[in-house]
Amino acid sequence: MRLDHYVTLGHSGLRVSPMCLGAMTFGEDLGWGSSVEESQQIMDRFIDLGGNFIDTANFYTRSHSEKIIGDHIGRHPARRDRLVIATKFSGNLYPGDPNGGGSGRKSIISACENSLRRLQTGYIDLYWLHNWDVHTPMEETMAALDALVQAGKVRYIGVSDTPAWKVVEANMLARFRGWSAFVGLQIEYSLLERSVEQDLVPMALEFGLGITPWSPLKSGALSGKYRRDKSGFDTRDRSQFLDPFLNERTFALVDELDAIAKAHESTVARVALAWVVGRPGVASTIIGARRLSQLEDNVGALDLNLTAEEVARLNALTAPAFGFPQSMQPMFPAIHNGGTTVNGLHAPIPGFGIPVKGEAPY
């Protein structure tokens, strides 16, 4: 698989590259990240390799990320039109203004106009709700987003960092009102963050939302840079994200990733990324490259084919513990169809209160 082997995003006709270039690190405004020049080089190389999907947000590096993309690509219509540019709303860039962020109509429309200005484009290909705003009815949010689609300022909409039940509410409202619905789901997903497999991933599979994982290397914890011997432990720029995960569980996982990488003459980062790319429902995995060399290494994950046995080893090390009711789900087939095989899966006869085969219930 290569970057120019495109996939459709969820139940839409939008073609995107199997990896998406995350632009959260574009700009050095927060004391870390890529310079303007290196951000431009990363974009150019990503596009040269066939990538067409770039993701940012109004909030990233105090909106400088959007401006870097706009200055480099937005002012060139022929180049801009062949790309899928995604950005997000919800982030408040105006401290003290209660309507400066969130998902209300006033905030959404203002955020969209400002993103269009910074991106130097007349339309946004994919507009993400960045995270759930508990103070705004979902009906208001979806109506405002549909108005932007009808006005031609937005092509598709997606949702990020929002509970599964709220996403379903939003898309059911859209279906019954004839509004545009979410086609993409952006969630944190990695070997160290699999809790999304309890509700969010099954929801996306059931309703046809294309999953675009963010932080597939868990803020670099799975990059191969951090080891037991404390090498590479300069975490000053992202300590709040990294430090809680630099522990024995992570080091054991990195050891396994390293063993698999050596078998493929590859790298730890590529193996970790290949696992995410291969998960059910994943359409395009977001890679954040602060350096051109990181981009080159990450894209190489698309050429890595993990064996079923290797995937099983990684799954065993990172299997999430689900809460209720998923924790009870393994026993349901026996209750529903014990003693039979349905869709190729055999269910045993349960031993708690179910009549023995051939006996009639009371």
**Rounded CA gap, 193 and 197, in Å?**
9
**Rounded CA gap, 342 and 319, in Å?**
25
**Rounded CA gap, 187 and 283, in Å?**
12
- Would strands 285-288 and 210-214 be described as parallel, antiparallel, or unpaired? unpaired
- Would strands 15-16 and 7-8 be described as parallel, antiparallel, or unpaired? antiparallel
Spatial contact of 83 and 52, defined as CB atoms under 8 Å apart: yes
Strand residue runs (E) in the chain: 7-8, 15-16, 19-22, 53-55, 84-89, 124-129, 154-160, 182-188, 210-214, 285-288, 341-342, 345-346
Give the pair of three-digit tokens for residue 193.
């963050």
The H-or-E segment that residue 278 falls in is none
- Taking the CA atoms of 193, 198, 202 and 203 in sequence, report the sign of the dihedral they define: negative
Residue carrying the six token digits 């109509």: 105
Give the pair of three-digit tokens for residue 146.
């549909």
Among residues 276, 295, 309, 263, the alpha carbon closest in space to that of 48 is found at 295
Burial 90-118 (b: 16+ CB within 10 A, else e): bbbeeeeeeeebbbbeebbbbbbeebbeb
Query: Edge-to-edge, what's the strand order for the sheet holding 53-55?
Result: 210-214, 182-188, 154-160, 124-129, 84-89, 53-55, 19-22, 285-288
Give the pair of three-digit tokens for residue 219.
């803020």
CB half-sphere exposure, 319, CA atoms < 13 A: 6
Catalytic residues: 60
